[in-house]
Each structure stands twice: as C-alpha cells, then as structure tokens.
Structure 1
Amino acid sequence: MPEFADSHAHIYAEKFKNDLPDVLEQSFENGVNKIYMPNIDHTSIDDMLEIENKYPENCFAMMGLHPCSVNKDFEKELYIVEEWLAKRKFCAIGEMGTDLYWDKTYWEQQKEAFKIQVEWAKKYELPIVIHCRESIDETIEMVEELKDDRLTGVFHCFTGSAEQAKRITELDFYLGIGGVSTFKNGGMDTVIPDLDLSTLLLETDSPYLAPTPHRGKRNEPSFIPLIAERVASLKLCEVDEVAEVTTGNAKKLFGV
C-alpha cells in the first residue's frame, strides 16, 4: 500500500472530539501515516499537543497564529506563540498568513503578524505554512520581499492560477493540494497538469473541504488517497508515484 502524508489537518477540532481514535485508525489503514497539525491560536494548543503526545510517530504539531485570529490584541497571541517556539521543537510555524475573505478590519495587523512569524521561522530554521484566502497575490508579494535562503514553506490550500503557482515555486515553496482539486468546478483541472509533483504536498484541511464524493461532509485524513487519485488522473501518472513524491516532499519540508 502507498504511504501518504496529510500535510494540513485540524484533527484536534471539535468535530473530532467523539471519535478521533477511530478517525486515525481509518487514516492509518488507508496508508495516511503522517499527519501535520497547524495551530490556530492559544485555544487550540493543548488539544493539539495532547494528540501529538498520544501519537508521536504519526501526528506532528506546528506553532503559529492563524490570520483569522489576528485582532487588535494580536501581540498577546504572538507572545504565546513565541514562548512555545523557545520551549520546544515544532515541525513548522503555522498556520499563519493572511485572509481578506472573512474580515478586512485587521489587514495591517495581519501583515505585521506575518512578518514577525517569518522572522521566527528564519531564527528557528522552520518552514512556514501559509493561509491566504482571497489574498494570494498580496501574500506572494510579501514572501518575495522577505525571502532569503532561510525561508521555505507551503502555500496551503492552493487554488490559484498557473502563473501564481510559478511565482510560488520559484520561491522554493510548495503548493498544498486538497479537496478543491476534486470539485467539478474547482478550476484545478487546468492548473495541476502543469505542476511538477516535486512542488506538491497533499492535504485535507480536515474537517473542512472534503473531496468528492464526500463534499459537504466532515473531511478526514483518510480521504488523502482520493486527492492523490485526482492528481494522478490529471498528471497522467500512477497514484503510487504521487504518494511517493508528495510524502517525500512533506518529510523533507517538515523534517519528520
């Protein structure tokens, strides 16, 4: 069986409270043995670390501040992130980034939080995991300004154009491909064929954005093979190749 990695899953979310052991068992049975967990803010840390402690060979924690949790008091949240980064090792700084979909009120604060977390990524030699809903061009520009040899990462939930993909991969960043790639009108069918597997990570963003045929239901890491099948069909290659390359990419990026 191919070995897969889910590079982005919020398995500590409330929607998994009642059956997480079963969800993870199903994941492992489907070959998804590595699950990388992005943090949201101070409210998600304890649950995330508890899962990592229970499944140290399979589940790996990130540390960061999600842009939708950035408000007028964002410095307090960043102080907590900084404390944790100084305390122990994480696989990445994330989920961080920008978001102009829900609320534009704290755009300036989002940009400031982004720059601060990029500096921490360089300091601790960690990749960054970027959220950029409705703000991909602005975010690419920020990364281009801040980029040096110490900075790498992934643009999570990539649904952009081939041109945007090219700008991102030229920065030595990966593209996170998830459930949207399986949607009939998701638009990725015209982009993925031109992407090199060496630039891709597979992700679910569980519990959100479940792939077809589970669209609208709770997403789970065990659905990663469905995304791999979609990528393989668009790339005209075997699922085993997609699994091998993208899992290797995740291990290379996150160091575990």
Structure 2
Amino acid sequence: MIDTHAHLYDPIFKDEIEHHVNDIKASGVSEVWLPNCDLASWGQLVELANAFPEFALPMIGLHPTYVKENYQIELAALAKILAEQKVLAIGEIGLDYYWDTSFKAEQIYAFETQCHWAIDNKLWIDVHCRKAYSDLLLLLKKSEYANLSGIIHCFSGDSREAKTLVDLGFMLGIGGVITYKNTTLFNDIKEISLTNIVLETDAPYLTPVPYRGQPNSPKYIPLIAQKLADLYEVSIEELIQITDANANRLKVASCY
C-alpha cells in the first residue's frame, strides 16, 4: 500500500522513527509520501527522506496556512532548494479559508507560483483545499494549467466538485474521515471511479476509527482501505491494487 500523504517527519514520530517505520512496513505499507509545509519543515522532511530513500518520498511546497507576511521569502528559498533537490511533487500547496482569510490574495499568488514550479519541472501537485473549492476550481480551469495533474489531498468538497476535479485530471485523496460515523464523504465520491482515488492518512492528523483521538500513523491505512472497499463493494485486495496503481501513475509521471 502507498500512503500518498503523511507528515511522518512530525516531531511526534522523531524519537522512535525506526520503530514507527518498522510498524508501518509491517502493516503492508511500502511507501509514504511526505508533503512539505514550509522552509522550517523542509530540514526534518529531507532528513527522513534521506534516511529511508525508497520508503519516504519527498515533496516540496508552501502550505497555504503558512502563507504569511514573509511568504515571498519562503517561496524564494524553497524555489532554490527545488532547483537542486529531486522531489516527487510540489506540495502541499493550495487554499485554506477555514481559519483565516486575511491572506487570501497571498495564498492565491503562492498557489499559482507553485503551480508554475510544477509545470516547469514536469511534476504533479498535492493540493490542500479547505472552504475554498470555488476559487480552486476557477484557478485550475485556467488554460495555462490545462496539463497540471495531481491529488486533491483529504478531499472535502461536494459531488459536483469531485467530478469537476476528476475531469480536470486530478485524483481524490481519501483518508480517515471516510471511517467517521457522521461523514457525508462517500455520498460525495460514490460516483467517482476507484481509478481516480488514492489512499492517504495525513498522519499524525485525522486518525481513522477506532483510533480516533490518538495520533495517526500510516500503519492505520488498512482501516481506510477496508472501509473504502466495503463502500465500493470490492475486495480489499482489489481496492489496494487499484489505488496503488493510481499512485504509481503519478510517480511515473514525475520520473521519480
């Protein structure tokens, strides 16, 4: 199994990282893809990626909630790293209007800048979007981004937005939320083919049931896979085969 989005470099894992990696591998996970947040997180991320080079795969990007007054300095520093560092994708980038909209214009600028990084480097993008799907779709529909592809991490839009994003060439990242009792997520994605779905945990966040309330880990991704398999009425083996193949298409596209 491939966990397409986990912050395994988070300090919560650091002291016992080899133990965590062994547990994750024992659960059947072969790769964990690492989305970056900002310049400060990059050092921790790349240290982990270098320690486990075929297991922990790095992305680079500026997360929308980290877009503040100094965001252009952050972007310039990350762009310099990108010029020298092989990465899987540009991420985690996007728009987040949930907590604060005072940097909305800056978030949009940062997102578009990083979309161009992806185009220039023939990479895909890992997109964070929260309470901002209207603006995200307006941006992704621009002709200059016609060839962009990637993952909408932790998809939380409605069924229309799901279909539009898939039509634009994006896959939907599905994680622990699918296991929550009151979620409407499956109603919003049930018309989406499994060929457009990838698995993720967003560890240490969004822990699936029955471990909700505890730190999340990629080792819990079988719980997400089983829930999705039940909802799509396929075997877990078939679901894993399909979603891993989807993830591997992106990996091949970025020549990683």
Task: Identify the TM-score tier after normalising by the shorter chain.
Answer: over 0.9
Q: Please, which moves more after superposition, 132-141 or 228-237?
A: 132-141
1:200 is the counterpart of 2:192: no
Instruction: Decide whether the 8 Å contact of 2:146 with 2:168 is kept in 1.
Output: no
Q: CA offsets, 1:110-168, max 9 Å, x none?
A: 00001100111100000011101111221122111255453111110002221111000
Measure the CA separation in 2 of the matches of 1:10 and 1:184: 25
Instruction: Decide whether the 8 Å contact of 2:37 with 2:92 is kept in 1.
Output: yes
Q: Could you say which residue in structure 1 is the equivalent of 2:36? A: 39
Measure the CA separation in 2 of the matches of 1:110 and 1:160: 19
1:94 is the counterpart of 2:88: no
Instruction: Decide whether the 8 Å contact of 1:131 with 1:156 is kept in 2.
Output: yes
Question: Which of 137, 141, 145 matches 1:144?
Answer: 141
Q: Could you say which residue in structure 1 is the equivalent of 2:247? A: 250
Instruction: Decide whether the 8 Å contact of 1:175 with 1:200 is kept in 2.
Output: yes
Question: Which of 118, 129, 139 matches 1:132?
Answer: 129
Q: CA offsets, 1:38-57, max 9 Å, x none?
A: 00001111111111111111
Q: Could you say which residue in structure 1 is the equivalent of 2:177? A: 180
Q: Could you say which residue in structure 2 is the equivalent of 1:81? A: 78
Q: C-alpha root-mean-square deviation of aligned residues, in Å?
A: 1.2
Measure the CA separation in 2 of the matches of 1:74 and 1:206: 25
1:66 is the counterpart of 2:63: yes
Structure 2 length as normaliser, TM-score? 0.96
Structure 1 length as normaliser, TM-score? 0.96
Q: Please, which moves more after superposition, 6-15 or 183-192?
A: 183-192
Secondary structure of 1:62's match?
strand
Q: Could you say which residue in structure 2 is the equivalent of 1:215? A: 212
Residue 71 of structure 2 aligns with an amino acid whose one-letter code is F
Q: Could you say which residue in structure 2 is the equivalent of 1:169? A: 166
Instruction: Decide whether the 8 Å contact of 1:192 with 1:235 is kept in 2.
Output: no
1:190 is the counterpart of 2:210: no
Secondary structure of 1:40's match?
coil
Structure 1 residues 177 and 187, CA gap change in structure 2 (3 angstroms)? same
Deviation at 1:189? 3.0
Q: Could you say which residue in structure 2 is the equivalent of 1:14? A: 11
Measure the CA separation in 2 of the matches of 1:33 and 1:126: 21
Aligned length: 253
Q: Could you say which residue in structure 2 is the equivalent of 1:122? A: 119
Alignment identity in percent? 37
Q: Could you say which residue in structure 2 is the equivalent of 1:235? A: 232
Secondary structure of 1:93's match?
strand
